Amino acid sequence: MFALVDGNNFYVSCERVFRPTLQGVPVIVLSNNDGCAIARSNEAKALGVKMGHPWHQLRHLEEEAGLVALSANFALYGDMSDRMMSLAAGLGPSQEVYSIDESFIDLTGVRGDLKARALAVRERILRWVGIPCCVGIGPTKTLAKLANHVAKQAERKPGSYPPEHARVCDLSCLSRGAVDALLGSTEVGAVWGVGRRIGAQLVAGGVCTVLDLARLDPATVKRGWSVVLERTVRELQGQSCIGLDDAPAPKQQIACTRSFGRTVEAYTPLAEAVSEFASRAAKKLREQGSHAAQVLVFIRTSPFRQDPQYSRSMIVPMRRPSDDTPAIVAAALAGLKSIYQPGYRLAKAGVILLDIQPASRVQCEFDFEATSGQRDRSRLMQAMDSVNTRWGQGTIRVGSGRVGDAPRDWGMKQERKTPGYTTEWDDMPVAKA
DNA sequence: TCTGGGGTCCTAGGACCC
DNA sequence: TCTGGGGTCCTAGGACCC
For A94-122, write each residue's pLDDT tens digit. 999 999 999 999 999 999 999 999 999 99
The predicted pLDDT at position A360 comes to 72
Pairing verdict, β A133-138 and A168-170: parallel
Nucleotide nearest to A260 (CA to C1'): B4
Q: Residue A50: helix, strand or coil by DSSP?
A: coil
Residue nearest to nucleotide B8 (CA to C1'): A252
- % pLDDT > 70, chain A: 83
What are the beta bridge partners of residue A96? Answer: A104
Q: Looking at residues A294-322, what average pLDDT do you find?
A: 92
The predicted pLDDT at position A390 comes to 52
Nucleotide nearest to A32 (CA to C1'): B4
The predicted pLDDT at position A325 comes to 96
Any residues with CB less than 8 A from the CB of A235 and at least 6 apart, and which? A140, A141, A142, A143, A241, A242
| Chain A 237..266 CB hits on strand B (< 7 A) | 249, 251-259, 262-263
The predicted pLDDT at position A397 comes to 35
A226 CB closer than 7 A to any strand B atom: yes
pLDDT-based confidence at A425, cuts 50/70/90? very low
The yes-or-no verdict on residue A334 having pLDDT over 80 is yes
Residue nearest to nucleotide B3 (CA to C1'): A54
Cα atoms in the 13 Å half-sphere on the side-chain side of A209: 11
Q: C14 C1' – A180 CA distance, angstroms?
A: 32
- Strand B bases within 7 angstroms of protein beta carbons: 1-11, 17-18
CB A41 within 8 A of CB A26: yes
What are the beta bridge partners of residue A133? Answer: A7
- If one counts every other C-beta atom within 10 angstroms of the C-beta of residue A102, the result is 20
The predicted pLDDT at position A248 comes to 86
Q: Looking at residues A240-256, what average pLDDT do you find?
A: 93
Any residues with CB less than 8 A from the CB of A305 and at least 6 apart, and which? A345, A347
The predicted pLDDT at position A214 comes to 98
Residue nearest to nucleotide B7 (CA to C1'): A253
The predicted pLDDT at position A406 comes to 28
Lowest mean pLDDT among A47-56, A266-275, A418-427: A418-427
Of residues A428 and A290, more confidently modeled: A290
The predicted pLDDT at position A179 comes to 98
A291 CB closer than 7 A to any strand B atom: no
The predicted pLDDT at position A421 comes to 26
A104/A297 Cα distance (integer angstroms): 34
Nucleotide nearest to A226 (CA to C1'): B10
Distances (CA, A) of A30 to A15, A35, A69, A71, A101: 12, 6, 7, 5, 17
Contacts of residues A234-238 at CB distance under 8 Å and 24 or more positions apart, as own/partner, are: A235/A140, A235/A141, A235/A142, A235/A143, A236/A140, A236/A142, A236/A143, A236/A146, A236/A183, A236/A191, A236/A210, A238/A139, A238/A140, A238/A143
The yes-or-no verdict on residue A232 having pLDDT over 80 is yes
Q: Is the pTM of this model over 0.85?
A: no
pLDDT tens-digit profile of A249-266?
899 999 999 999 999 999
The rounded mean pLDDT for chain A is 86
A366/A375 Cα distance (integer angstroms): 13
A219 CB closer than 7 A to any strand B atom: no
The yes-or-no verdict on residue A226 having pLDDT over 80 is yes
